[in-house]
Amino acid sequence: MVTAEEYKLAEREMTLRDWSRGWKIHAAIYGVVITGLTVANVLINTFTDAWFYWFPFPLVGWGIGLAFHYLHGVRWAEREIQTRQAKIERRAEQTRMAA
């Protein structure tokens, strides 16, 4: 039988691992797509009459989203998990009192 503390620790570790993995996947996709957009923009400008370099817009816009994903999923993950577990414990206590 698993104790509540063992369950809480295992759930915390799995959540941290999943959130970190999610951020790494997001960062890899960002790198591939932004590289492709940059190359496409430069090639289009080189071989046509186009002159506008638009690739910084998705680079910065998506980069902001990636930065927030890092903050929430990696940097502040421990705090987020502790907050969530405290809410779950309060809810469990309320349920136990109501029964």
Spatial separation of the C-alpha atoms in residues 52 and 50, rounded to whole Å = 6
The percent of residues in the chain predicted with pLDDT above 90, rounded, is 88
pLDDT band at 4 (very low <50, low <70, confident <90, very high): confident
Q: Does the structure show a pLDDT above 90 at 51?
A: yes
| Count: domains in the chain | 1
pLDDT of 1 higher than 90: no
Q: Write out the residue range of the structural domain in which residue 69 sits.
A: 4-98
Predicted TM-score of the model (pTM): 0.85
- Nearest 10 degrees: Cα torsion 69, 73, 78, 79: 30
